[in-house]
Structures are given as structure tokens and as C-alpha cells.
Amino acid sequence: MVRNSILKFLKIFSFTSILFINFSFVAAQKNDAPQLDMTVNRGVIKPISLAVPSFIKESGANSIISRELAKVISNNLDSTGLFKSIPQSAYVSMPLSFNTPVQFSDWSIINADVLVMGSVGLKPDGRLEVKFRLWDVSQQKEIGKGKQYFTNSESWRRISHKISDTIYTRVTGEGAYFDSRVVFVSETGPKDNRTKRLAIMDQDGANFRLLKHPPSLVIAPRFSPTTNKIIFTGYETGKPRVYLMDLSSEEITSLSELKGMSFAPRFSADGSEIVLSMTENGNTDIFINTLSTGVKRRLTTNNAIDTAPSFSPDGKSIVFESDRGGGQQLYIISTQGGDAKRISFGKGRYATPVWSPRGDLIAFTKIKEGKFHIGVMRVDGTKERLLTTSFLDEGPAWAPNGRVLMFFRETPGKAGAPSIYSIDISGRNLRKIKTSSFASDPNWSPILN
Amino acid sequence: MKNIGFTIFVILLLVGCENNNSFKNSLDKAQISESDIEYFQNLVGDTVLFTVDQSGLRPDAISILNAQVNWLKEKKFLPITIEGHADEQGTREYNLALGARRATAVREFLLAKGIEQDRISIVTYGKERPLRVCSNEECWSKNRRAVTVVGKKIVE
């Protein structure tokens, strides 16, 4: 048993190292490149070839779910750019039973590297039972242990996301991120008369839903670390103010202790505090507000615009933007106050810094020579890399594993409108997230419970 | 709400007219009462413009604001809300703060000229409420603005 686990570990490790080599190759290329290169996709990485047959239908399960479970997994893994699903029409056989031995030759002949085998059955109490196993086709070995899930039938998508997370984690060694949601602002109407509504969807764009709130303008919702609340800026009183919404009841609470104009709120990693900016006498500074007591404390006192603050995952520091040095640049300050340390020094303006959940990187918006970019840098400001460029790219949001970013891209002109995109922090795999309306201000939840 | 018909007429005349100022001078002022809010909006000028990323009042803004002060002093009972706006060339949060700076610059000017503090509230919309929708300086220069809205006060 122990030896078996070690074998499995070694197998996973070898996969991981292959990926790491590829990642570092891309990174090196990008760093050396003088100009932003948006064509990194051209075959630098050979994706892992993946076979996900429809799940085997057991007692009472319907065939739509058995098909869709597999489809959502394929879509998730394909969306990473690290995997490529083989179309089911190319399969030479379909597994008939979950427990019969895998015919590896049927999968190696279509060049599958990895095979996902699953089954779905309906229990007498109405719950779905979903099982899956992951196979390394060339080694003819199982990767990790099989898993079994029980859920009510409406939640089958989440099982697909959990299985996708397990596969992704076992094969790449990176943290999970598929079983997560995105809050954002849904936009409709013409550019000079936009209606903005808070909305939520699964990470892959499924289960889109508008949230209930007064019709006034709303801005930039952000998840609480427990994923059951959001905090956002709303204009219900006529001025920008910070509000909390409980996502299960959609009940909204105003943070009444924050007078005047307040905006750009974000939770601390433990959810007990929020950091935000407040404007007094035309001057915008950073404050931390303790939610349980309503006590706020000032973090910056400066004539400059200090805004867009974000907590470090360890809760000890805040990264924010300030134009105290003339133009917008990024600074880090202790949550206990004191001097802020500037970390960005490149040409152009740096804005909307967001600390990675892994703690290692800061994502930001950069405005340079009339173009907007999404970029990442280390916490000390070194190793800056720009990942995107367009007329207007703004507002990066980290996936829970700190490997992928979402942001919004707005097109220029009269018909200009925003859409949400995602990109790997390697700079690869730029993808537009399908939404039923214009969409902006994405914020990615942690992994759901 | 009187003179609505005339207001619509004025708005129709102003639509498509690139330079409102030249037009205003040719309007027959006898047809619109100086005490109307429409007069303030269209003939005094409720909007001042700003330079890119700046909140300092330009000479053109100051002359409009002086006219605003004269009008507002005659209408002591009317509350005022100053809206600060930015163009789309900045990030959302920064533009909110920039709009607040612009609205505050106008507020400070009105206060210095003797408009009562408790009449004035300010709000920033950042880049959320563009007036013009093209993506070049022609529109951006009109969107970098502070608008003095009379008859409106935000209750805290």
C-alpha cells in the first residue's frame, strides 16, 4: 500500500516536472522579450492529451447527466490550456463498467495520456452517487486513488468541478480552482446610460444569476473568504458607499460607520476586517474597518489619491496605489500603519494591485503610452511581466490557486463595452468568458466549501 | 417645472450644436426666465471641464464658476450637488478619487466666493457616467467635468 502510494507520488511528480519545465521556458522567453508578445500560445507547450468518456450510467441515472459530467470536466481542463480533450468520436471503445479493467491499448492508440473514468448512479433517497478514477495510459497505472461523491441531483456540476480540481491538482501539482464562483457587474444599455447589476456565476460561466439590489449604480463586488458574503460599492444614497450582501438571503447591510464617500473595499483573509478608501475634503486615503465592532482606523494620511487597497494573505500588509510620487504607483504598508514602501518603478501608471492568494505575486493594471495592460510582479516589485495589452484592460482578480487571473477588457468607441477574460500568469491562454450581457469587475471566490 | 416646452425647444436647438457657447449668446433671453434652473444649466453653464488627470480650475472653468456664483447667490433656498467625473482613460477606483478631487475643487471655489457650506454636497461618479461616448480626446475632454446640479442635495 505504502509502496503503491510512493509510485503514485513519483508518477504525479514526473508529470509536474514536465509542466514546470515548460512553464519556466515560457517565463524565460517572456522576460527576455523586449515587447509584449501575445502569441506565446504557438505550440510552446504540448498539452496533455485527455480522454473523458461519458460517465458510466448506473442504477437509475439519466444519460444527460452522465454525458454532461464528462463534458464539464473536459471543458474545465481544456480551459487551462494544459490539457486537450480527445473528441469522443475518436474513441475506439467506450468503457462499459466502472470496475472492469481498463483496455489501455484502446486509449494509447488514440494517443491519450490520461484517461478519466467515471460512473453515476441514482440512490433510492434521490441523491446522485458519482465515482471516478484517473489513469496514466502509457504507464498503465492509476494516478491517485479513486473518489466517490454523493450529492443532490441539482449539484451535479459542482461534482464535475471537484473532479476537475482533483485531476488538475494530481497531474499539474498546482492548487485547485474549478469549484469556485465569480461575482461581477453585469452591464446593459448604451455606453452613456449603462445599467449595472451585481451578478454571480460559476467559474466557467454557468449558473449565471443577477443579485437583488436597489437599481442605483453598483461597483466592484468582492467575495468574503468564506464565499457566503460579498462587499461592494453602491450609490443607493446618492454617494458611493460600501455595502455587505449575504449571498444566501441577498440581504444588504450598509456600513453606516463609513461616512462621506467610501469605495474600493476588500476583505482580509480571515474575513474580520475590510480595507477600503474613503474621501474626505476631496482627499482619498486608506482605512481598515473591523466588521464586528465598526471601528475604523486610518492607514494613510497623504494629500495624494490613495486607493485600490488589497490585503496580503497573511493579513500583515496592504498593497495599494497612490499618486503621491506624481503618477499612480504601487505601495505596500503594514496593517499597523507606518511608512509606505513604493514597489513599482517602471514607466507608466500602475493601478488596482491585488495580492495573490499564494502570497508570492501582485497583479495590477498598468497604463502606458495610451494602452492598458494586466501584469504581475513579485511582492518586492521585481520580475514585472505584462500579460495582456488592449485599449482598456483593467481590474485583475486571482483564481483561488494563484495561477490564473480574470480581468475585464473594454472595447473603444460608441459601441464600446466590457467583457470578462481570463489568462494564465505565464501569459498564455487568453480566453473570453461567455456571459449573457456585458460584464466587468470580476472577483473570483476561494474554493467553495 | 414651468417652461418645459421651452426647455425642450432649447435642448433641441442645442442638439448637434458643437459649440454651445456661441449659441447661447444668440438665444433670445427674454423667452427664458433668469430664475429658472434651465437658465442656469444652459445659459449660465452648469459644467466646467478639466485637463487630463488634473483637478485644477482652468480660466474657462473659473469664468463659468463666477457666473454660477452670481446666479446661486440670487437663489439662496436652492441646494446644490456638485458631481465630479473623469474620462475613461483611467482605472475605476482612481477615477472615483479623481472625480472627488474635481468636485471638491468646484466646491472650494463656491465656498470661497461666499456660497453657504450647508447648501453644497458633492459626489463622484468617476468614469461611470460619460456624457460623450467616442474614445478620443474630443469626447474625453467633455467627460472630464464637474457639473453643478441645483435643486438637489444628497442627504447623508
**pLDDT tens-digit series, residues A102-118:** 999 999 999 999 999 99
| Nearest CA distance, B85 vs chain A (angstrom) | 13
What lies within 8 Å, CB to CB, of A340 at 6+ separation is A300, A320, A322, A331, A332, A333
Residue A324, amino acid: R
Cα separation, A133 vs A136, in Å, equals: 10
Contact A238 B130 (CB under 8 A): no
Contact B97 A394 (CB under 8 A): no
What value does the mean pLDDT take over residues A67-74?
A: 97
Q: Do B78 and B16 lie in a common domain?
A: no
Give the pLDDT band (50/70/90) at residue A153: confident
Chain A residues with CB inside 8 Å of B143's CB?
none
Contact A282 B135 (CB under 8 A): no
Which triple of cell numbers denotes residue A256? 453606516
The residue with greater pLDDT, B156 or A348, is A348
Which triple of cell numbers denotes residue A148? 466517490
| Exposure string for A406-427, b = 16+ CB within 10 A, e = fewer | bbbbbeeeeebbbbbbbbbbbb
Q: Do B64 and B128 lie in a common domain?
A: yes
Q: What percent of chain A has pLDDT over 70?
A: 90
**Average pLDDT over chain A, rounded to whole?**
89
**pLDDT tens-digit series, residues B74-87:** 988 899 999 999 99
Q: Do B9 and B74 lie in a common domain?
A: no
pLDDT for A2 equals 33
Q: Do B41 and B53 lie in a common domain?
A: no
Residue A159 clears pLDDT 50, i.e. is over it: yes
Q: Do B41 and B84 lie in a common domain?
A: no
Residue B13 clears pLDDT 50, i.e. is over it: no
Q: Do B56 and B115 lie in a common domain?
A: yes
- H-helix or E-strand containing A121? strand A114-122
Top CATH class of A46-172 equals alpha beta
Query: Residues of A at the B interface (Cβ-Cβ below 8 Å)?
Result: 190-192, 194, 196, 217, 219-220, 237-240, 259-261, 263-264, 277, 279, 281-284, 305, 307-308, 321, 323, 328, 351-352, 365, 367, 370, 391-392, 394-395, 410, 412-414, 416, 441
Cα separation, A101 vs A88, in Å, equals: 20
Q: Do B63 and B24 lie in a common domain?
A: no
What value does the mean pLDDT take over residues B3-31?
A: 44
Give the pLDDT band (50/70/90) at residue B152: confident
Predicted complex ipTM: 0.88
Ramachandran sector of residue A2 (left: φ over 0; alpha: ψ -120 to 50; beta: rest): alpha
Task: Taking each helix axis as running N to C, give the angle between helix A156-172 and helix A63-79, from 0 to 180 degrees, rounded to the nearest 10.
Answer: 40
CB B90 within 8 A of CB B100: no
CB A404 within 8 A of CB A175: no
Number of other CB atoms surrounding residue B84 within 10 Å: 31
**pLDDT tens-digit series, residues A402-425:** 999 999 999 999 999 999 999 999
**pLDDT tens-digit series, residues A251-292:** 999 987 777 899 999 999 999 999 999 999 999 999 999 999
Q: What percent of chain B has pLDDT over 90?
A: 68
Residue A20 clears pLDDT 90, i.e. is over it: no
Contact A240 B123 (CB under 8 A): yes
Contact B90 A367 (CB under 8 A): yes
Contact B130 A416 (CB under 8 A): no
Q: Do B23 and B81 lie in a common domain?
A: no
Number of other CB atoms surrounding residue B58 within 10 Å: 13
Give the pLDDT band (50/70/90) at residue B30: low
CB A349 within 8 A of CB A375: no
- H-helix or E-strand containing A40? none
Residue A429, amino acid: N
pLDDT for B24 equals 47
Three-class SS of residue A68? helix
Q: Do B39 and B109 lie in a common domain?
A: no
CB A394 within 8 A of CB A407: yes
Give the pLDDT band (50/70/90) at residue A63: confident
**Where do you find CATH 3.40.50.10070 in chain A?**
46-172
Q: Where are the alpha helices (DSSP H) in B4-119?
A: 4-14, 20-26, 37-39, 59-73, 92-112
Q: How many domains does chain B have?
A: 2
**pLDDT tens-digit series, residues B33-76:** 887 888 999 899 999 999 999 999 999 999 999 999 999 999 88
CA A96 to chain centre: 36
Q: Do B150 and B85 lie in a common domain?
A: yes
Q: Do B139 and B67 lie in a common domain?
A: yes
pLDDT for A419 equals 98
Contact A219 B133 (CB under 8 A): no
Which triple of cell numbers denotes residue A170? 494530481
Range of the domain at B8: 1-45
Four-point Cα dihedral A253, A243, A434, A43, nearest 10: -130
Residue A207 clears pLDDT 50, i.e. is over it: yes
What value does the mean pLDDT take over residues B90-117?
A: 97
Which triple of cell numbers denotes residue A22? 515548460
- To test the contact with chain A by mutation, choose from B85, B93, B95 the residue with the greatest count of A C-beta atoms within 10 A, namely B93
**Where do you find CATH 2.120.10.30 in chain A?**
181-444
Return the ∠ at Cα A287 (arms to A285 and A291), rounded to 5°.
155
pLDDT for A46 equals 86
Residue A16 clears pLDDT 70, i.e. is over it: no
- To test the contact with chain B by mutation, choose from A187, A191, A262, A266 the residue with the greatest count of B C-beta atoms within 10 A, namely A191
B90: closest chain A residue by CA: A367
Cα separation, A54 vs A69, in Å, equals: 7
Cα separation, A372 vs A145, in Å, equals: 45
Residue A100 clears pLDDT 90, i.e. is over it: no
Domain A181-444, what architecture? 6 Propeller (2.120)
Write the CATH number for B133.
3.30.1330.60
Cα separation, B147 vs B142, in Å, equals: 11
Residue A321 clears pLDDT 50, i.e. is over it: yes
Q: Do B76 and B147 lie in a common domain?
A: yes
pTM: 0.87
